[in-house]
Structures are given as structure tokens and as C-alpha cells.
Chains A and B, each alone.
Chain A
Amino acid sequence: MPTGSSLPSPMALSRSSPSSSMFKKQQSTPQMSSAASYLSALSQADARARGSRSPTPTATPALSFSSSVTTSTEDTVLNEQEIDNDDGLALPMRAPTSEQVFSTIHTEYGHCSEEAYRYTSQHPQGTVLPEHVEQDPPYYILLSTYISYLLLIILGHCRDFFGKRLHPQYYKHLMPHDGYAPLNSDFDSFYTRRLKLRIDDCFSQPITGVAGRTIQLIDRYSTDFNYTQKFTGGHTRALNISSYNYLGFAQARGGCADVVEESLKRYGVTTCGSRLEGGSSDIHQVAEALVADFVGQEDALISSMGFATNSTVIPALVNRGCLVISDELNHASIRFGVRLSGASVRMFKHNDMNSLESLLREVISQGQPKTHRPWKKILLIVEGLYSMEGTLVNLPVIMQLKKKYKFNLFVDEAHSVGALGPNGRGVANYFGIDPRSIDILMGTFTKSFGAAGGYISGSKTLIDRLRVRGYSGAYAEAMTPPVLTQIIASMASIMGVKPPSTPRAIEDDTYRYPGPMPSSSLPQWVSLPPALTSGLEGRDRLRRLAFNSRYLHTGLVKLGFITYGHPASPIVPLLLFNPGKMNIFHRMMKDRKTPIIVVVVAYPATPLVTSRVRFCVSASHTKEDIDIVLKACDEIGDVLDLKNGIPRSERWPLEEVCARAVELANIDPSVEH
């Protein structure tokens, strides 16, 4: 329904070369190509809104906080000298009505005021989390995938064999020379040289500006089969469905950025040194208290890097004689930390609670290897939301097991904090579980909060112990003030700030999870606009993210694709299987009239046969953006034969998917599957 004429023409199949991408843009005459036409559309919409109310949902009243926003519409849209809307990304599909005033820049955080496109992320009480079934593709796909790999490997070995004899100079760095062993042997680097290099144009493309709803790619091309990349000097704006910008806080404008600017003026860029050696400042303490309140724990500790939060804290929790039980798909930082700790490790099948329970029974009854002494501690480490699968941890069952088997529980909420739960407080919030019944909640600020670094939260005893015993406190640099401020501002705007109560009503000032925070927890100089302190915008972000996630996920399923993960997850993996389809998919998405950038992942990040595209949905996307992604997938899926999911008869055509988006998003997964 809302798609149609403004959507891009069929994609170009050809590989993007610098020349074609430079000239491609000139031909099309899109709906709104200049600022002037945008403004006229705006006034038309205005007139329309004043006159008869159209039956489309556009006519619903604007967001309630709009009246409090003073920024003019021009400021939020016309941020660039001359708007180039060839790609249909710079301006909203539908011009806003006069009541709709947006305080964000559309390219960073999309304008969408349609109340129907909202959803609350919450586990339906009383239901069990549906078991995740990995859908298998037809056999010919599996077979061709294996054959592809086989071919690639054989071809690679042939090239190595002949290459070493014909062009020894290219292999010099892989061979012992001048008495030095090679830094990287030909065997160790085989995968990188012979498989990954072929699709290197999918990775590490530099960008500029904010990684928000859209992203500015720095155009590049390779003339030597990806050995080197050359920059064309041009930029391309693309729809960004790849960054971990779940709540859309990657913004250079707006209330949060304003506070960060203020903090840069006050605090400068750094606090110089580690937390225990003179690098602590009052704003660290504010942020830590706020994080503890946010996740609902007693205390929290902040570290300047998310990866290091795991790798420096786990060794302080467990050591020799302790056992770590780890999901087989846990993140590299967890494995790094466990290896540093010296504790024994056992893995269980991804999110498989039966496998976990039988492992628990085995390890507790057997005790330590050889000696059979009981384990000192058993720490179960799981992630809240798995970044490659989109699966949600089965927390309700784990909590039951925890009661029975008395292990300690560590949940890495890197991707789930902010992104899940009716109040955005993560998986515990999503399932309605008391966060304090979980020993340790870890998370990162790189994702939902648009900042950097990580936190670890738990009881006060535990966190104080980690302050002195974790590696970060003594050795690692403290988090910098601008990053801390971004965390404070974004968290505060999700929680909402309770206006200061009268001095007498002290007990009213205490914080109750997951309610709004008392204003006394914020430093005086932090002044957030009313839309943020009221918590309305934060709530809107949560609900937009939940809608977009569910819509994209169920939409792809209805179109016939194989996806993994839970519909509530903002990470939506679409299975490609065949390694050769990865870069084609990537390129076809990028070469569309509305370029879309995607992340493709393959072995070793995933099992060998399940190469995939990973979409990361954001609250900054509008429903129309998701339509664009679905349309692109639909077209490319036909070309690349990716629709191997539900049978043809059950599929919906694209138009129907887009038109019935709200209905799709409301499908209850525990009933559906």
C-alpha cells in the first residue's frame, strides 16, 4: 500500500564499478528531488490535514510530545545544504502534517508518527518460549553449498600449488625467509586468502558521519581482486540495516548530543588513567549508579570497552577448581575471559535446555576431573540475545534449573539490554523475571545506547570485589566523559525522570525498578529536553524497535525466506547457505536505487553451511524502510533462489506483506510455530 511509485526500479545486476556508480544516480527523477518540492509537498500535506481527514493512518494525531519540541521542521530535515533525495532516503515518504513536528533528523532517526506501527516487547505471560527449530533447506541447496566449499578449497590449493612455483615472490611472506619463520603460514591463512578475499568487498567498508538510519559509505573499488581497495572520492548514502543501533541513539543532533557537548565543555575528553589510580571522576559514579538502577541491580561497574568487560571480569569471578558452563555460541570475549581465568569449561548445545540439564547433572555428580572433588563454583554464562542467531536465551527454564542446581548465572546482555523488554531493561524484563535473582548481568553500551564500553552489575559485595580484583580497575583506562554522558542521557531518556518531589516526601524519591529515575540522580548540568525526561520518546523508541523487528522477521518468513531467531529479536538472520550468494546478495542490495547495506557472515562466525545475512533492525527505521528492505529481499530472493522456507501456497505476495504489516507484527510466536 504505502510503497508504489516512489520505490526504486529493479536493481542493477552488474557489479559496481567506479564509473557506473558515479553516473548511475543522474538518470532517475524521483518523487521529491529537491528541497523546494519537499516543502511544497509539506504544505500540501498541511492543507490536506486541515481539510477532510484522509482515511489513511497518516491522519492520526502526532506524537503527544510534539508540542513541547521547539525545533522547526526545517532544522530537522534540511540539515544539508542541498537535499539530494535521489535514493529516497533523505525525506520521509509522506510529508508530515502540520501537527507532526519531529525533533530528529530523518536520515539519522526516521520520522514516523503512526501509532499502529508500535509494539511492546514482552513475553506473553504463561506461555513457554517456543523451542527454536532451525529450518533446513532443500537437499540440493545443502549439496551445492558443500560442493561450493569443496571447489573453493580445491581451487585454492591448486592456485597455491602453482602459484608457489610460478610466482614465488607472492608467497614470500608465507614461507620461511632470512631465518625467520613466516608470521602467517600458507596453511593458517588459507581460509583468509582463498575464501574470504573473494568476498572482501563485503567487509570493512569505511563510512563517514553517523551510523544511524542511513549511513554514508565511502565509495571504493578494487582492480586487483580485492587485494587492495581504492577510494573513488565519492560517497553513497545507504539505508543502514547493519549497525547495532537498536534504539537509534546514534545521533549527532538531539537532546543526548546536546548534553554530551555540554560535558565535553565541562570535563574535556579524558579523565587520565585507570579508575583506581586517579582516573575516577564524579561522573563515573553517577553513571554507575544509574546503570545499576536501570538494570535493577544493587550496584554496577563500568569498563571502557565491552570486550574487556568480559575478558577482565570473568577471571576475577572464577579460577582453577571452578567450572564455567558456556553456551557453544557464546561471544569471543567470553571465551577470552574464560581462558584467562584458568577455570575448566564445558559447553552445551546452543540454547538447548535438555543438554544443559544433563550436563549439569553430570558435572555436579562427577566433580572435578580425576580428583572428583566438588567444584568450588559453577558459573553458567549465557547471552541474552545471540548476535549471530537472533535467539533469545530460555531464561525461565534457566531460572528453574538455577534453583535446583545452585549454580551462579552470568547473562551477557550486550545485544538485549535496551533492545528487549517493555521497559528496555533486557531479557529479564522481557520475561518478567526479577533481575536480582540473576547473579551477574553484563552488557555493553555500544549497541542500544549509541555509546561505547560495557558494564557489569550485581550485588554490592560482588561489584566491590570486582572493583579491586577485576583487571580493569587497576590497569585499564577509565571510560571517557563524553561516552559516560551519552550513557547517562540515553538511559535517562529511556527510564524517564521523575520530577523532584517536595523535600519532605523523601520516601517518594526512592527508585523502584523499572520505573522512572529520581531527578536527584542526575547531575545538575545535565538538562534534557522535556520529551526525553518525560520518557515518552524513550518509550516510543522501544516500541518502534519492537514493531520493526517483528515486522521484518515475520515479513521475511511470509515471503518464503528461512530466518533464524525469535521474532522479538532486532537481529534477523536470513539464511543464504551458499557462500557464493553472500557477496552477490551484498552487492545487489548496495546497487539498488535505494542502496541498502547489509552484513553477511559465514564460517567461522557461523557453522560452515549456514552462511547468512544479518539484519540489525533499529528504532530509527520507519515502516517504509522495512518495506524497502522486504521489497529488495523479495526481488533478490527470486533471483538467487533464497525462498526455501514455508511452502509456496502459504506465502504472501510482497504487497500483501506490506499492507498487512500491523497484523504480521502482532502474530504471537508461541501460537504461530
Chain B
Amino acid sequence: MTSTYSNTPLEPVFSHVSEAVLSAERAFYKLPGSAIIERYVRSSHQNDPGRTVLEIILFLLVVRTLLQSRTRADRNAKSFIEFSEKEIDELVDEWTPEPLARPLDEVEQHELDATHVVVGPSGPKPKLASTGKTALNLASQNFTNLAGNETIKEEAIKALRKYGVGSCGPAGFYGTVDVHLDLERDIAEFLGTEAAILYSQGFSTITSVIPAFCKRGDIIVADRAVSFPIQKGMQISRSTIRWFDHNDLKSLEDVLIQIEKDRKKRRGPLTRRFIVTEGIFEKDGSMVDLPKLVELKTKYKYRLILDESYSFGTVGRTGRGLTELYNVPAKKIEMLVGSVAIGLCAGGGFCAGTEFVVEHQRINGAGFVYSASMPPLLAVSGSKAIDILKNTPSLLEGLHDNVRAARAILDKVDGINIPSHPASPMIHIQLKSPGASSGGGLHPSAALVMPTKPSNPSSILPREASTWDWDVQNEELILQEVVEEALAQGVMITKSRRARGQELVEVRPSLRLSMTAGLTKKETEKAVGVVKAALQKVLSRRRV
């Protein structure tokens, strides 16, 4: 009752408000379609008055998000401090950024200067700028010696005269040239998949393929020693990553079982699940057991993204890669990634798979959509290279003979450890730690000798990481000495170069020898002999 009295002074205010409401209502009814909205609100209000409030809040939220532009300053954050213009000016004056780039230190400068530079064409016996002499080449990735192939050169020149050099556009906008489609078809036929898609750089291929399929919330199970571009692809994808011990399929199975258990426990939805690994590992040349891997991924219903950058064009009777070596149909691998630059000595990379997998990438593969297609003459060279590989199994035989010959010599050298598979044409040489019996680093045998608790799948570091006793800098220095010693004897080799400090886990330094069919067995033996002598010389000097 008291309220009636207290109302009196507020009377004019109320009448004003009600008038305003009325006129707003009238204006509202003038709008076309207002009747529908009104009916909707009334009926929903009748059903559940709470809902009206909820809907209004929802509506306001939508409006707010729409109005919030991407570029607006985040002034509402808790930690935001209000400054006056003068204070800001002072802060601006005070702020001194770090220099954009630190100058190279002495060691880095030396390594950069010692980078091999070839004068003229590369090949099995190129001329080097530093010495002015030719050297036997175990550094460049010219496995099947297609680099200097005359037929490929002729085809490339013909292509130049028809297509020019650049394609001048991304594939979506008139950058798809018929020869790109030809090479895609050639690769698919060569491997036995439905289709394939070309990227214009080998390195960027897998970095684009992974995020094209794996999204936030998806699960990737990856080998602990996957290569740098794979790590980067996974980083972009923002998927949940679980790791298994390097090249240890038992560990893989454990991880897969564990993930399934977790999912059942949490009753989570079915997400996309992928296994990501390499055919021949870039980091150490070890080789995955493909039949077993395919068995596991089928059993646990995972999709397989297999990076064959170093195995395509280098293993198998005609260079088709691991699928040929192990006689596993390539169709069983959902996404088979390879390098046209390494395997076919041209440029670019590819991903082979089903029609659907390929078409999906034509819209979602960042490196495909947002980059110009590869120069047509490189695509033509790739096609010709496939043609040659198919018809000249002797190329691969020669390469594999050389690999065997090299391993026969290297396996007997003391003080080093070769983690690479005996059939891998890329041979990594690591130093053995003075005290340790096992090789450490990425060698799978390290995991086998310790039947203890498994590593934590959420961390890329394996369990035995605590026992790693090698010093990156020191070993890099020793290996660099070996490289220079070998060069003095006329053999060009290289360390595995890395973006140190940027790999997810430091990689043990190694020499990387790339065998080539371009050298005869005799020459290979001679070159590897020189490497052996250089290793022995440097190591003995170090010991004393």
C-alpha cells in the first residue's frame, strides 16, 4: 500500500516510459514480419517464461559477437591497465626491442662457409667451388642418378618451349597445366592408388597434408623421431598428439590400446584418428615394418599418413618405395606422401590416395591452394623419371649394390653407430658415446634392452632420454672435421643439417651419406673407404 504514495512523485516518469514503450510498439508493428515475431515470442513465453529471458540473452550474445570485430583491442581483459597518453608516449620511448637477428657465432659462420657449393651441374662427380676439383659425391640426394639424365633434359627443354617456365598462378586459377594432371596420373598409376595431388615443394607437402585432415580434437599417434616437416604439420593441425617409441610397433600398439581405453572411459565421441610415420626416417635412415604397421592401423581403425619422401624412388625393385619392397598394396595407405624432388630428381612433392583424399586436399591443402603450381617443365621431368624407373630396374639394382658395398665397409668401423636400415640408400653415421654400450639417441635397440616401464605417450621424450649422454655441439664439431677431412681426400659428404633448437627434441648429430647409382661399385667403395679413413683419423685424434 505504501507504494501508491511513493509512486506519486514518479508519475511523470512512468507516463513517459509507457508512452515511449507504446510508440516503440507501434513502430515495431509497422515493420514487415513483426507479427510473426510477436506470435513467436508470445507463444514461447506462454510455454515457458524463463525461455524468453534465455532467448533474449542468447540474442544479445549473438549481436555482441557479431559486433566484436577481429581487430578490436582486447581492452576488457582483466590484466588491461589504463594509461594516459603521456604515459604511453613514455613507455613507447623506453621500449627497446631486441635486434631482429643475432650475428652468427664463429662455429656457425664456419659451418655456413663450409657448405658445399657445386660449380656447374650436380651429379655423381661434381666440381666444387672450394677446391676447384671434382669430388665423388655422397652428399647430394641423387639416388637413382636421374639428375644428369639426357632424356629428361631433352623432355624438359621441349616442355620449356611449350609451356615457358612458371605457371603464373595457383592451381585453382588457371595454374593447372595438363602436364600436372599427367604427372599426378603417372604417380597414381606407378604406385597403384586411385589418384595423386602435386605440391610445389617437397618439404611443404606433408606440412600441408596433415592439417588438411587433422583438426583440433582429432588424435594423431606419431613416431617419436618423425621428421621436422611432419612435426610442423602436426603443430599447425592442433590435434591431440600421442607418441610411440621410435620404430617400435609394440609401443605403437600399447599407445593405441591405451587411447581406446581412455575413450571408452570418457565415452568421448568418435574422432578422426591418424598414425603418422615415415617409410625411411629422415633422421636416422631406419625403416618401418610396413606390413605390421598396416595390420595395426587396420585393427585399431586408424588412418595412416605415411611419409615416403626418402623411400619413394629409392627402394623396391623399380623404386616404388616401401609398398613395393614389402609387397603391400599402396591402396591400404590412406595418405602416401612422397617427394618428386628427391625420388624423381625434379621438384615438388605429392600425396597419393583415394579420389576423395586427393580432392579434399585440392580445397583444404594450404600449400596447394595458396601457392602457384609447380613449373610445368618440372612436372614433365617427373613424368619422364617415372617412365625411366619403370623400365630400367638396373638403376635400382645398381643403387642397392652400392648400398650393400658401403655397409660392408662401414659396419666394421669402430666408434660409430649406424642406425639406418641395411637397405636404406641414405646412411646415417652417429658417434658412439665412449662409455655407453648402446647407441642411444634414436636407435631402436636402445628401447629394446630396457624392459622397464613404457615412455609417456604425451611427451615426445622417450624414457631413455635421461640416459642420453651425447653433447650436440661437441659431436657436431667432430663430424664437421670428418666432413672436411673427407673433402680433402676428394669425397663430398655432409652432416645432417638441422634447425637446432627448433626440433621438438634434439637429434643426435650424424653424417648423412646418400648413395647413388651414378657411381660404380668400385667408386662407391673407394669413396666410402675415404669416409672410413677420415672417421678413423679424426676419432683417433680425438681419443688421445
A binds B: yes
Contact residues of B with A, CB < 8 Å?
69-71, 73, 75, 77, 79-81, 83, 87-88, 91-92, 95-98, 100-104, 108-109, 111-112, 115-123, 129, 137, 139-142, 147-149, 152-153, 156-157, 160-169, 171-178, 180-181, 200-204, 207, 213, 215, 218, 227-229, 232, 235-236, 270-273, 301, 303, 339, 341-342, 345-347, 356-357, 360, 362-363, 366-367, 369-372, 374-375, 377-378, 381, 492, 494, 496-499, 502, 512, 514
Distance, CA A635 to CA B103, complexed state (A): 60
B103 to chain A, nearest CB (A): 5
Decide if B345 touches A270 in the complex (CB within 8 Å): yes
Q: Is the CB of A307 within 8 A of B370?
A: yes
Please tell me which one of the listed residues A267, A270, A370 contacts residue B79 in the complex, with CB atoms under 8 A apart. Answer: A370
Q: B residues within 8 A CB of A599?
A: 173-174
Which 9 A-B pairs have CB atoms at the shortest separation, nearest pair first?
A: A278-B139, A476-B203, A272-B140, A305-B201, A307-B371, A446-B372, A477-B341, A465-B101, A474-B497
Q: Is A168 part of the binding interface, using a Cβ–Cβ cutoff of 8 Å?
A: no
A23 to B7, CA, bound (A): 87
A477: chain B residues at CB < 8 Å are 201-203, 339, 341-342, 347
Whole-angstrom distance between the Cβ of B175 and the nearest chain A Cβ: 7
Please give, as numbers and ranges, the residues of chain B lying within 8 Å of A466 by CB-CB distance.
101
Asked if A178 and B301 sit within 8 Å, CB to CB, the answer is yes
User: Does A306 interact with chain B (Cβ within 8 Å)?
Assistant: yes
Given contacts A272-B147, A279-B122, contact A207 B372 (CB under 8 A): no
CA A245 – CA B369 in complex, angstroms?
18
Residue of A nearest to B345 (CB): A270
Residues of B within 8 A of A306 (CB): 371-372
Interface assignment of A183: CB less than 8 Å from any CB of chain B: yes
**Contact B156–A449 (Cβ < 8 Å):** no
Contact size range, A: 35 or more
Given that A204-B362, A242-B173, A260-B160 are contacting pairs, would A340 and B232 also be in contact in the complex, using a CB cutoff of 8 Å?
A: yes
| Binary B-proximity of A300-332 (CB < 8 A = 1, otherwise 0) | 000011111001100111000000000010011
Please determine whether B160 and A361 come into contact, CB atoms closer than 8 angstroms. Answer: no
Of A50-58, A402-410, A575-583, A652-660, the one with at least 4 CB within 8 A of chain B: A402-410
Note all chain A residues with C-beta closer than 8 A to B303. Answer: 180, 183
Do A333 and B370 contact each other (CB < 8 Å), given the known contacts A264-B156, A267-B121, A408-B100? yes
Does A447 sit at the interface, judged by CB under 8 A?
Answer: yes
Which residues from B are CB-within-8-Å of A179?
Answer: 270, 301
Instruction: List the B residue with the shortest CB-CB distance to A308.
Output: B204
Residues of A within 8 A of B236 (CB): 336, 339-340
Q: Taking the nearest CB of chain A, how far is it from the CB of B425, in angstroms?
A: 13
Chain B residue nearest in CB terms to A284? B117
Any B CB within 8 A of the CB of A355? yes
| Residues in B whose Cβ lies below 8 Å from that of A482 | 156, 160, 165, 375, 377-378
Set of chain A residues within 8 Å of B342, measured between Cβ atoms: 273, 477
CB of A79, distance to nearest CB on chain B (Å): 10
Q: CB-CB < 8 A to A467: which residues of B?
A: 112
CB distance from A358 to the nearest CB of B (A): 7
Q: Are A347 and B207 in contact (CB under 8 A)?
A: no
- Determine whether the beta carbon of A282 is less than 8 Å from that of B101: no
Q: Counting chain A CB atoms within 10 Å of each CB, which of B116, B117, B121 scores highest?
A: B121
12 extra interchain contacts, Cβ-Cβ under 8 A, other than A242-B174, A252-B160, A450-B166? A173-B356, A244-B372, A267-B122, A270-B147, A272-B122, A278-B514, A282-B119, A360-B92, A362-B75, A377-B100, A468-B111, A482-B165
Stretch of A12-20, A151-159, A210-218, A663-671 at the chain-chain interface: A210-218
User: Which B residues lie within 8 Å of A469 (CB)?
Assistant: 499, 502
Contact B70 A347 (CB under 8 A): yes
> For B378, what are the chain A residues with a Cβ–Cβ distance below 8 Å?
269, 480, 482
Checking B162, B166, B271 against A445 with a beta-carbon cut-off of 8 angstroms, the contacting residue is: B166
Residue among A277, A445, A449 making CB contact with B496, cutoff 8 Å: A277
Contacting B at CB under 8 A, from A195-248, are: 196, 203-212, 215, 218, 240, 242-245
Cβ 8 A contact of A452, one of B171, B181, B218, B372: B372
Write the chain A residue with the least CB distance to B334.
Answer: A183
- A266-B120, A276-B497, A306-B371 in contact; A207/B381 too (CB < 8 A)? no
Given contacts A208-B177, A279-B140, A464-B104, contact A452 B167 (CB under 8 A): yes
For A326, the closest partner residue in chain B by CB is B71
Judge if A520 is at the interface, Cβ distance under 8 Å. Answer: no
Q: Do B229 and A475 touch across chains, with their CB atoms under 8 A apart?
A: yes
B119–A204 contact, CB under 8 A? no
Question: In this complex, which of B122, B235, B498 has the most chain A Cβ atoms within 10 angstroms of its Cβ?
Answer: B122
13 A-B contacts, Cβ less than 8 Å apart? A206-B176, A252-B164, A267-B120, A276-B497, A282-B120, A372-B81, A446-B169, A452-B374, A471-B228, A473-B497, A474-B497, A480-B347, A482-B377
Please indicate the chain A residues that have their CB under 8 angstroms from the CB of B370 in the complex.
Answer: 307, 331-333
Contact among A257, A277, A315 with B497 in the assembled complex (CB-CB below 8 Å)? A277
- Distance of A347 Cα from B68 Cα, bound (Å): 13
Partner of A464, one of B70, B77, B112, B176: B112
Is the pair A210, B164 in contact by a Cβ cutoff of 8 Å?
yes
B174 and A451 contact, CB distance less than 8 A:
no
Residue of A250, A365, A475 near B203 (CB, 8 A) is A475
The CA-CA distance from A377 to B88 in the complex, in Å, is 18
Q: In the assembly, what is the distance between CA of A445 and CA of B111, in Å?
A: 29
Q: Does the CB pair B232–A347 fall under 8 Å?
A: no
CA distance A577 to B274 in the complex (A): 40
B362 CB, nearest partner CB in chain A, Å = 7
A149 CB–B CB distance under 8 Å: no
Choose from A339, A348, A377 the contact partner of B98 (Cβ within 8 Å).
A377
Q: Contact flags (1/0) for A427-453 with B, using CB distance below 8 Å?
A: 000000000000110001111011110
Interface residue? A527 (CB, 8 A): no
Taking a contact as CB atoms under 8 Å apart, the answer to whether B176 and A365 are in contact is: no
The reply to whether A257 and B77 form a contact with Cβ atoms under 8 Å apart is: no
B residues less than 8 Å from A376 (CB atoms): 97-98
B73 touches A260 (CB 8 A): no
Judged by a CB distance under 8 angstroms, whether A261 is at the interface is yes
Contact of A361 among B92, B366, B381 (CB under 8 A): B92
Report Cα–Cα, A176/B270, bound state, in Å.
Answer: 8
Point out which of B70, B201, B367, B499 has the most chain A C-beta atoms below 10 A from its C-beta. B201
Given contacts A377-B97, A451-B375, A462-B101, contact A597 B174 (CB under 8 A): yes
Q: Known interface pairs A311-B204, A370-B79, A408-B97. Does A206 touch B166 (Cβ–Cβ under 8 Å)? A: no
Q: Are A268 and B121 in contact (CB under 8 A)?
A: yes
Beyond A211-B174, A257-B160, A348-B71, whether A269 also contacts B147 by CB under 8 A is yes
Does A40 sit within 8 A of B, measured CB to CB? no
Is the beta-carbon distance between A271 and B118 smaller than 8 angstroms?
yes
Nearest CB on A from B187, distance (A): 17
Check: A88 CB closer than 8 A to any chain B CB.
no
Q: In the complex, which of the residues A180, A379, A452 contacts B166, with contact meaning CB atoms closer than 8 Å?
A: A452
Using A268-B153, A465-B104 as known contacts, say yes or no to A407 and B97 having CB atoms under 8 A apart. Answer: yes
| Bound CA span A120–B275, Å | 56
Which residues does chain B contribute within 8 Å of A316, judged by CB atoms? 499
CB-CB contacts below 8 Å: A357-373 with B? 358-362, 364-366, 369-370, 372
Are A365 and B122 closer than 8 Å at their CB atoms?
A: no
Neighbouring A residues of B168 by C-beta, 8 Å: 211, 243-245, 250, 446-447, 450
Q: Are B117 and A282 touching (Cβ within 8 A)? A: yes
A355 and B71 alpha carbons, distance in the complex (Å):
9
Listed residue (A108, A272, A304, A379) with the most chain B CB atoms within 10 angstroms of its CB: A272
Instruction: Find the A residue at minimum CB distance from B111.
Output: A468
